[in-house]
């Protein structure tokens, strides 16, 4: 059942709050991960799986998937590496985690590879298990028909917070093609056929883009962006959150601005709210959708309206569009909106009230010389966990790479 939301737009500066004010967030945990080939990878996935994380990435230079388990205190253990037994085409591998014996003891690497059917491509899962000598044989999750252009295929994956199972969503970004998705139990052997996100006839299928894994209550969630009803200047942010039985709750959030560059993040907030942050042509915007008193419009289908406010960080705030940061995560502490920003220098965390009023000063995360890599994050009820690399210059001009692991806390109330 899809619920449609209407909204209003408000332009407000986020950095108006005095820099002398206490930060809107703090680093409750801040450690250097053990030096290793995995820690040096620039881009990784951070998957909450039970009482710890799975950290995974693809080392394209070595042709290896590297992964390990990461405790909530930042201890990286059980590091493994393996070569994918398939030829890679299209997007880079994505990762899920599942349970063979204990939560998160299996890594699922998902990639596109040429199919035995001429001109077609297989979406395959390669499962590595802690303690196993080698990964299992690839599991074919789906076959994309002959003539598919691999460059149009988008794939997203993730894991249940419990670490019991993972999920994958995929589709070619061409007219009339739906997004498909699967839950992945132990050994990535699905118990059901792929399901369709939109579930519409090809002639009625909206064009979509920006397929991303998102934070959901159970960890099993993804989103896409579709054109909004207001034309090319608006976007719809559409999400699906599933529980571990596969029951889903699709939502359609109508925005009054257009998302650009596929830079969008979203997460559930308290009391049924949903928060998001996204790049537009002129700003970094944010939105909070809150249920209204009456959700049913009278049609008996659960439809209704919610309110939206889009605070704005204009390009000029950062010195122009080329210096604009990337929204890396969003959360809702105490009903506020907190955004993690991946910047050219050190990452920052900004916070503001639902109506756009700044809440505390920005928190700048640490960096030796402002040469930080992409942020990987996980938003949970116990805080936001973040990891990123930092290029550190030593004596004689030598550069070494460190990887930091942090827990960002944002109190429900500020002084």
Listed residue (294, 199, 310) closest to 254, CA to CA: 310
Listed residue (409, 413, 350) closest to 379, CA to CA: 409
Length of the chain: 415
Residue 294 predicted with pLDDT over 60? no
The band of 273, judged by pLDDT with boundaries at 50, 70 and 90, is: confident
Residue 300 predicted with pLDDT over 80? no
Task: Please answer whether residues 381 and 367 qualify as being in contact, where contact means their C-beta atoms are separated by less than 8 angstroms.
Answer: no
Residues 225-237: what's their mean pLDDT? Answer: 91
Listed residue (48, 2, 46) closest to 219, CA to CA: 48
Q: What is the pLDDT of residue 308?
A: 63
Query: For 122-131, what is each residue's pLDDT tens digit?
Result: 999 999 999 9
Task: Please answer whether residues 10 and 352 qualify as being in contact, where contact means their C-beta atoms are separated by less than 8 angstroms.
Answer: no
Kindly state the tokens that stand for 401: 């790479």
- Sign of dihedral through CA atoms 101, 134, 84, 37? positive
Kindly state the tokens that stand for 412: 């429900």
Coil, helix or strand at residue 39: helix
371-405: string of b/e by CB count within 10 Å (b at 16+)? Answer: bbbebbbbbeeebbbbbbbbbeeeeeeeeeebbbb
Number of helices (H), then strands (E), belonging to the chain: the values are: 1, 30
Give the C-alpha separation, 172 to 193, whole Å.
18
Q: What is the pLDDT of residue 307?
A: 56
Q: What topology does CATH give the domain 3-409?
A: Methylamine Dehydrogenase; Chain H (2.130.10)
What percent of the chain is predicted at pLDDT more than 70?
90
Q: What is the pLDDT of residue 230?
A: 83
| Burial (0-12, 13-18, 19+ Cβ within 10 Å), 257 | buried
Residues 354-371: what's their mean pLDDT? Answer: 90
∠ Cα 282 250 351 (to 5°): 40
Residue 303 predicted with pLDDT over 70? no
Query: For 20-60, what is each residue's pLDDT tens digit?
Result: 678 899 999 999 999 999 999 999 999 999 999 999 999 99
């Amino acid at each position: 059942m899809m619920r449609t939301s209407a909204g209003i737009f408000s332009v407000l500066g986020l950095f108006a709050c005095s820099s002398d004010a206490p930060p809107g967030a703090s680093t409750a945990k801040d450690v250097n991960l053990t030096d290793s080939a995995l820690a040096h990878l620039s881009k990784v996935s951070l998957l909450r799986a039970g009482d710890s994380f799975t950290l995974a990435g693809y080392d394209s230079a070595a042709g290896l998937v590297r992964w390990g388990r990461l405790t909530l205190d930042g201890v990286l253990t059980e590091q493994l590496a393996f070569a994918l037994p398939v030829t890679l085409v299209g997007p880079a591998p994505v990762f899920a985690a599942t349970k063979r014996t204990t939560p998160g003891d299996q890594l699922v690497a998902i990639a596109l590879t040429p199919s035995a059917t001429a001109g077609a491509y297989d979406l395959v899962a390669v499962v590595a298990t802690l303690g196993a000598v080698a990964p299992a044989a690839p599991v074919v999750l789906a076959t994309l028909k002959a003539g598919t252009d691999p460059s149009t295929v988008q794939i997203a994956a993730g894991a249940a917070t419990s670490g019991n199972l993972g999920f994958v969503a995929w589709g070619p970004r061409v007219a009339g093609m739906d997004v498909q998705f699967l839950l992945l139990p132990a050994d990535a052997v699905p118990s059901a056929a792929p399901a369709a996100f939109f579930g519409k006839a090809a002639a009625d299928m909206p064009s979509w883009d920006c397929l991303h894994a998102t934070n959901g209550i159970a960890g099993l969630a993804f989103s896409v962006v579709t054109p909004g009803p207001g034309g090319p200047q608006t976007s719809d942010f559409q999400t699906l959150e599933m529980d571990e039985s596969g029951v889903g709750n699709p939502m359609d959030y109508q925005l009054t601005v257009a998302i650009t560059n596929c830079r969008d993040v979203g997460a559930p907030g308290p009391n049924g709210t949903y928060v998001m942050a996204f790049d537009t042509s002129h700003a970094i915007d944010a939105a909070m959708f809150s249920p209204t008193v009456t959700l049913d419009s009278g049609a008996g289908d659960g439809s209704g309206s919610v309110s939206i406010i889009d605070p704005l960080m204009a390009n000029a705030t950062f010195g122009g569009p080329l210096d604009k940061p990337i929204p890396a995560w969003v959360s809702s502490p105490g009903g506020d909106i907190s955004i993690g920003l991946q910047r050219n220098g050190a990452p920052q965390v900004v916070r503001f009230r639902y109506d756009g009023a700044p809440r505390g000063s920005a928190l700048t995360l640490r960096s030796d010389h402002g040469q930080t890599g992409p942020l990987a994050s996980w938003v949970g009820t116990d805080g936001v966990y973040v990891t990123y690399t930092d290029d550190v210059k030593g004596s004689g001009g030598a550069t070494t790479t460190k990887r930091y692991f942090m827990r960002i806390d944002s109190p429900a109330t500020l002084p």
